[in-house]
Amino acid sequence: MEVKVNKKVKSATADELQSLTKEELIAKITQLEAHNSQLKSIVQKSLKSREETTQTKATKKHRPFDFSKCFKRHILLRFYYLGWDYQGFAAQEDSIETIEHHLFTALKKVCLIESRETSNYNRCGRTDKGVSAFHQVISLDVRSKFRPEDQLDDNKLTSELDYCSMLNRVLPEDIRCLAWMPMVNPAYSARFDCRSRTYRYFFPRGNLNISAMEESICHLVGTHDFRNLCKMDVGNGVVNFVRSIDEIRILPSQGDGYSDGSYDMMYVELRGKAFLWHQVRCIVAVLLLVGQGKEEPSVVKELLDVEKNPCKPQYSMASDVPLNLYECLFNEKSNESNDREQMESDLREWIYNEDNLRRTISELQGMWMKHSVKTTMIREMLKTLQDVYAGERPICDQAVLLTQGVRSKEYCPLLQRQRC
């Protein structure tokens, strides 16, 4: 009996693709799109099956919650997450490993909302795959113990449902709710009423020329067309690339304790109202090239001159791991306020629960301990090897490794590269 062996099909090389006719290429693309559609359908069915199984188990244990008997209130929720192992903040059709998926799973599990569609939900920032946040904020309507007319009473606020503790009991350990804020205006939006967003990008000093990088960032402040310093998102209708950066600076974060300072941690801090897709990572990628001496500080000014350079040179972005949505500031009055003349602010103070804060700090210290011990072990190994190394040029590649992509042996200046 003849046995047929299905061999794994190799990916076509660039040369092989170039040798194909137009008809063969169309057939290949059609085949790949059909295969991709089939895979997507399989993934969605698998995810739906997992969710239905979870919901069935929950239904067997508990009776359906009757939201018609509950009061609601509009709040802001502040939380942090370490996004390194997630596919970004926003929910996706083909993955449940997003911050938003876990957040809404938790909100429904503790019966704070009935569904996303009925929760009057808005998010402050939409961070990408691998990006973290220390100050992410969402606005939504949640269940309350009190009638709407009593909800802003001080005594009622202290005895309201402990929203953060309820959520933290069912959220993954790297996503934590920190505080909540009662809102007067039910139209107040974490997205549209945010007046500024601050990002921090952490990096080791290495052998970077920080002075040259600081000279570069001066050109970024103000309103510019950032098409050469972002990833274009025209597929989602983004055709305007003019944004404003209110402030940008480079600051030290923490020292390593060794004399050369190459392992000291720094960060680039950028503040603005809104940012383009991958804008921060593209800016940092160019700043790292300036710090390495591969580009002049004036290259940033050249890239911002879209009349002279209308097309983006091809370059790799900086890594997503060190990027953090660090702070969000909000308008005192909502853009949707009925009475703009009224002086009373729509904002209140953030409400923290001391026990929840203590647990969260303790959990973060535990995570810090694990990562810090690993870092210290690696640092001691490096120190031992560097004491033995007798090469003429010291090795300071800490910051260089933040730039993604393949590094060529001979560096080609940005403005001489092929354009997108």
Active site residues: 128
d(CA 98, CA 171): 12
d(CA 397, CA 420): 28
C-alpha 201: how far from its chain's center? 11
Tokens standing for residue 59: 């239904």
Cα 410 to Cα 392, 407, 415, distances in angstroms: 20, 9, 15
Residue with tokens 């920190």: 178
d(CA 238, CA 277): 9
Contacts of 67 (CB under 8 A, 6+ apart): 111, 114, 143
Tokens standing for residue 384: 């031992």
SS3 call for 15: helix
Tokens standing for residue 350: 């953030």
Nearest alpha-carbon partner for 161 in 356, 349, 328, 330: 356
